[in-house]
Chain A
Amino acid sequence: METNEIPGTGTQSRGYEEAEIPAVDLEDDVSTGTVAPRRRRGVSEWHQVGKHLLRNRGAVIGLLIIGIFVIGAVFAPVLTTHNPIQNNLTMRLQSPSTTHWLGTDALGRDLYSRMLYGSRISLNIGLISVVIGVAVGVPIGAISGFYGGKLDIFTQRIIDIMIAFPGILLAIIVVTVLGVGVQNVMIATGIASVPIYARLVRGSVLAAKEQSYVEAARAAGLGDASIVFRHILPNCLAPIIVQSTFQIATSILWAAGLGFLGLGAQAPMPEWGAILSDGRAYIRTAHHLTTYPGLAILFMVLGFNLLGDGLRDALDPRSRGN
């Protein structure tokens, strides 16, 4: 190889010949600028996300609120003072007292016990509807975004039609078709969230598939399935997680709405929306029947929204800084 005939002036100088720097010197030149110990495990991104999340005050408050509800739901049999569906007509419409911490309803049932069991139902609806939404929406979005073309146009027009309906209306339509009941509410809110996931994932997949590492995987001869599952979807996880947190809150709200309308849990099931609806008739004489379930719905939704906000910031490498 002939030597560089054009040594170049000033900034143009490259000097390939003398720049044989051994790689060992590059050892600690990592982007974080920290000195790496010799045998260190790779620091996964999730580690950093967790650290960042716990530094976010809103997210911690959200986690605490959710934690309280989860503990209440899991240990409901231990924490309750009364049977949530046991009528006691001699104790109708009692105000909060030491025996009935949050008072009683029109049939003399203990509101505190009913609400604890109600948090089980609400959390279940929130989680299961999100699982349904993710399980159906993510593959639709991924296939639509990855393959594109006519298939993409076709699916996206169907998604457009579904998005044109407000989620709660879509859920009402599905419940009307399937019949009332808690299980059908889960299915309905799940289906109502499918278009949201399909649209979200399609967008993320469209962005991720343009990255060079996807092209590199293709150049290495990897099949479509491994490209989608190992290279594209893991990089779309952040928006899916954030959306799921918000979607749990939305589903709980939708389920309470359906319960309020009498389309969800049926008596005597202690569902928050249904409790709220039953208490509506006594709002002037026994406001605790509407106030406490209303506050419970408010705080659970608030908790998930705070956590979602925190996750969105923590999962975004740009806002994470350093």
Chain B
Amino acid sequence: MSGTAERQPMLQVTNLKKYFPIKTGVFSRTTGYVKAVDDVSFDIYPGETFALVGESGCGKSTTGRTILRLQNATGGQVIFKGEDVYAATGDRMRVLRKDMQIVFQDPYSALNPRMTIGAAIREIMRVHGMATGNELHEKAERVLETCGLQRHHASRYPHEFSGGQRQRVVIARALALNPSLIVADEPISALDVSIQSQIINLLEDLQDEFDLTFLFISHDLSVVKHMAERVGVMYLGKLVEVAGKRELYENPLHPYSQALLSAIPVSDPARRQERIILKGDVPSPANPPSGCPFHTRCPYAMDVCRSVVPRLRRTDSGRHVACHLIHPPEQHNGDLSTVETRIAH
């Protein structure tokens, strides 16, 4: 944490929001919003792996997509290398896109079944004017090789590959544009366990070789522990804790992080700790609870949690947590802050 603090962040996400309208009835009136991403802020520093973890449906994938502007954000700001992603248009946006790539979860739907993988990689290189003619073929084959495939695979169609090989192709396609940031959206969850480790190793090798920065989205805490340097924990569209990997895994501060981490199986019986079982289900993001989104399941919920939304604040140790237990709402101007932060509805 201390090492990264002095550097300029590569990606700054500020108050990012993505609401999906709920439309009902014949005239498709908007009757409400699903707050898939609600007021999420974090920074990613060059060369690091920042992981977003949380249950499925908590908005981590949507966060990744809105950062790349594959879906437009409802509000907030995304600054990539000092440039506002949402202010860029036309050619400028194309240049930005070249520098931020994505690796998808499902390698089966991520490749166009009617294109050879070589054609798919050459197409995107050609769009960015990276090469022409023989040089283009050469470059495309070289990037396949870098990702552990063979040169002659370029003339094959996606259906001729296994899941793990397809994911290598997807990574090769992302790498083809020489990006500096790669959003890896659950890159191994759709793969067999035996293949997962190969893909993880590949990602790590590529990170070393090409000085890549990863936004690693996953629900698999042991993979995140292996890959990430810093981790953001998401719950119901909100970031509840951001901390260095070591601090988070050794001492999670937010009650949700504690529950999440207690779910990792521990082999050493001496170290085995009590598993925190959360009661109830995740509330619907269409109708989130007032106050802290976690208060309905939190074992330590207090009165203030039901009315006041806790903000993500820095602790003394340099971590960020959104919890009233860690940052008690200030007594003297408590009324004021309650009014300020109470959820609108």
Contacts and interface: CB of A to CB of B under 8 A. Distances in A.
Given A6-B265, A19-B197, A45-B157, A213 B148 contact: no
Q: Which of B115, B177, B200, B267 is the most central at the interface, judged by chain A CB atoms within 10 Å of its CB?
A: B267
Interface string A208-247: 0001110111111110001000110011010000000000
Contacts of B173: 216, 220
Contacts of A14: 193, 196-197, 222-223, 226
Given A14-B222, A234-B114, A235-B113, A26 B160 contact: no
B157 A8 contact: no
Given A9-B265, A43-B160, A235-B113, A19 B124 contact: no
A222 B264 contact: no
Nearest to B108: A212
A19 B201 contact: yes
Contacts of A217: 112, 124
A235 B120 CA distance: 14
A7 B112 contact: no
Contacts of A15: 197
A21 interface: yes
Contact of B160 (A1, A9, A11, A42): A42
Contact of A8 (B120, B165, B267): B267
Interface residues of A, number: 50
Nearest to B106: A212
B267 A222 contact: no
A220 B104 contact: no
Contact of B102 (A24, A30, A39, A216): A216
A219 B177 CA distance: 11
B275 interface: no
Contact of A219 (B102, B223, B225): B102
A14 B198 CA distance: 11
B161 A218 contact: no
B197 A26 contact: no
B2 interface: no
Contact of B177 (A8, A27, A36, A220): A220
A20 B102 contact: no
B136 interface: no
Contacts of A220: 97-98, 101, 124, 127-128, 173, 177
B111 interface: yes
Contacts of B164: 26, 29
A219 B102 CA distance: 7
A40 B93 CA distance: 39
A1 B228 CA distance: 9
Interface in B287-330: none
Contacts of B194: 19
Contacts of B120: 213
Given A38-B152, A216-B104, A219-B102, A12 B222 contact: yes
A211 B165 CA distance: 19
B276 interface: no
A39 B151 CA distance: 10
B168 interface: yes
B184 to A, nearest CB: 13
B156 A42 contact: yes
Given A211-B109, A221-B94, A30 B197 contact: no
A137 B52 CA distance: 44
A267 B200 CA distance: 75
Nearest to B125: A220
Contacts of B157: 42-45
Given A43-B157, A218-B70, A222-B124, 10 more contacts: A1-B204, A4-B225, A19-B197, A26-B148, A27-B150, A29-B165, A44-B157, A215-B102, A220-B124, A230-B115
8 contacts: A6-B225, A29-B162, A41-B155, A213-B109, A217-B112, A219-B101, A220-B177, A221-B94
- Minimum-distance CB pairs A-B, first 10: A23-B148, A19-B197, A220-B124, A221-B97, A221-B94, A42-B156, A212-B110, A234-B114, A213-B112, A212-B104
Interface of A: 1, 4-9, 11-12, 14-16, 19-24, 26-27, 29-32, 36, 38-45, 211-213, 215-222, 226, 230-231, 234-235, 237
